[in-house]
Amino acid sequence: MYFFMPSGIPRGKYVVYMGLTKATWVWIHSRAGILMTIIIVVHLILHWHWIVYTTRNFFRKRKEKTEITEICEPL
């Protein structure tokens, strides 16, 4: 959209793109960014238990033997 809506107002006219002025697009853009940030924070809060469990599980050293190791070990 930057190429379609250059900065400034040319000769006192409003730049309109898809029926909305640049000021309206800026307002929509800022509100959408705020809304997405809120949604991401809520998402992280709701799934915090899973994030912590998966991170601990990922970095934990595996001392348990898998089925394949138990089968191949006696050989």
For residue 72, the model assigns a pLDDT of 64
User: Where do the domains of the chain lie?
Assistant: 10-72
For residue 44, the model assigns a pLDDT of 96
CA 39 to the chain's CA centroid:
9
- Indicate yes or no: pTM above 0.85: no
Predicted confidence (pLDDT) per residue in 52-68, tens digit = 999 988 888 766 656 66
Q: What residue has token string 């595996």?
A: 62
Predicted confidence (pLDDT) per residue in 7-45, tens digit = 665 655 677 778 888 788 889 999 999 999 999 999 999
pLDDT band at 73 (very low <50, low <70, confident <90, very high): low
Q: How far apart are CA 13 and CA 70, in angstroms?
A: 78
